[in-house]
Amino acid sequence: MTAITRSRKVFRKASIALASVGCAAMLFPVTASADATDDYPIPNRMLKTTCTVDQYMAAVRDTDPVYFERYMIDYHNRPADVQQAARDRIYWFFSLDYAGRRQYSENTATNVYYEQVATRWGNWAKLFFNNKGVVSHGTEICQNYPPSQPEIWNWR
């Protein structure tokens, strides 16, 4: 057997093995890990919290003050109607039960145009959704704060 014949046989076996792996991958697909059922786009602790918006914000103010300050600076640099829209929308989100919050998370993960407040302020919910660590810290102790503190929005 010549070297050329041998290399053709090896090539054919490698091609068959590669095709088999490809077929197996198509027959047994793996579920994507970055879907709206985990901590994306909204951390699971935020979906499950029983705290109010005011309680959560007060907790973040105390646990992650730099993050809170950056959010509030950005918030106060927005027009009054955008500030009000962001407040209304986050209070609405917190009024939902777990299933409603999960559905909202699914909608925002699968439809970039779903959240209308984001068209006026892309980071409107950054304090609440974008940082899993901040959400973890805030939801851990938010029950220790009074449920209604509207003055939390008047930072400075």
Is residue 36 pLDDT above 80, yes or no?
no
Extended beta strands in the chain, E state: none
53-63 vs 65-76: helix axis angle to the nearest 10? 120
Confidence of residue 32 (pLDDT cuts 50, 70, 90): very low
pLDDT tens per residue, range 100-117: 999 999 999 899 899 999
Within this chain, do residues 114 and 139 fall inside the same structural domain, yes or no? yes
Residues 74 and 141 in one domain: yes
My answer on whether 69 and 111 are in the same domain is yes
Full-prediction pTM beyond 0.95?
A: no
Mean pLDDT of the chain: 87
Q: Domain limits at 57? A: 44-153
Which residue in 142, 147, 101 sits closest to 125, CA to CA? 101
Which DSSP letter does residue 93 get?
Answer: H
Asked, for residue 35, whether it belongs to a domain, the answer is no
DSSP letter for each residue of 64-83: SHHHHHHHHHHHHTS-HHHH
Q: Comparing 10 with 86, which gets the higher pLDDT?
A: 86
3-class DSSP state for residue 84?
helix
* Residues 128, 101 within the same domain: yes
Is 137 inside any structural domain?
A: yes
Find all residues with CB under 8 Å of 80, minimum gap 6, and list them: none
